[in-house]
Amino acid sequence: MAIHPTAIIDSSAVIDPTAEIGPYCILGADVVIGARTRLLGHAYIEGPIEIGEDNLFHPYSTVGVAPQDLKYHGERSRTKIGNRNQIREFVTIHRGTEGGGMLTSIGDDNLLMAYTHVAHDSHVGSHCVIGHGATLGGHVTVGDWAVVSAGSAVHQFCRIGRHCIVGGFSVITQDVLPFSTTVSPRETKLFAANSTGLERRGFATDTIEGLHKSFRFMKDPKLNTSQAIEKIKAEITMTPELEELLGFIATSERGFIK
């Protein structure tokens, strides 16, 4: 086990023998760190937290600390981080609260760029990219393969759908549809299907074309949401992805961007 002599580690911390703890890192009580995970230096980790394998924490990341929620009064909530994540400089990840299930979680293979903030009770899936300075408010859910670009702010309780891209410096106050590109240069609106990302993930051409057409219906100013959904069901061949899109719309509690 490679632990720098300047690191401060609570006696209750459980660190895999293959993990590396760099200079001036601080690990509090109830911290569990998996195999080959590396803390480069000056990282601050507070438990209860479970960190999986092959993660890389860059300097000045602050993980698992108490939430910025005035309703939080020290209850024993926790943080869970999966495998192969990159946590860059000055990232902050806050543990859960009683009002949100007591857990903040990060999946696998994510890149959280510098100054990203993941607030209490948020859940980031796998293969996501959260850009520089992006902020996820409390209780936010980010689906797999999503990209939240630099400077974007996601309001509490919003959902970010799978395989979508949120454009830089967007203000997100409602759910972002899966498979979409959504931006807010001056106003937040649905732009189009995330064609490039979907092609890279191996989605069929017919599936992407069906999503393109669906988003055109959703954006048509002559159609309300119910009318657009009727046209989608009547005119586009149903696929699992299209079923997911319609299900996402049907279960939206905050409304969605279009």
**Using an 8 Å Cβ cutoff, are 221 and 258 in contact?**
no
Active site residue 73: no
Kindly name the residue from 69, 108, 121, 144 that is annotated as catalytic: 121
Kindly name the residue from 28, 52, 131, 138 that is annotated as catalytic: 138
Active site residue 138: yes
Mapped to the 3 state alphabet, what secondary structure does the chain carry?
CEECCCCEECCCCEECCCCEECCCCEECCCEEECCCCEECCCCEECCCEEECCCCEECCCCEEEECCCCCCCCCCCCEEEECCCCEECCCCEEECCCHHHCCEEEECCCCEECCCCEECCCCEECCCCEECCCCEECCCCEECCCCEECCCCEECCCCEECCCCEECCCCEECCEECCCEEEECCCCCEEEEECHHHHHHCCCCHHHHHHHHHHHHHHHCCCCCHHHHHHHHHHHCCCCHHHHHHHHHHHCCCCCECC
Kindly name the residue from 42, 94, 117, 120 that is annotated as catalytic: 120
CA 212 distance to own-chain centroid: 24
Active site residue 212: no
Give catalytic residue positions.
120-121, 138
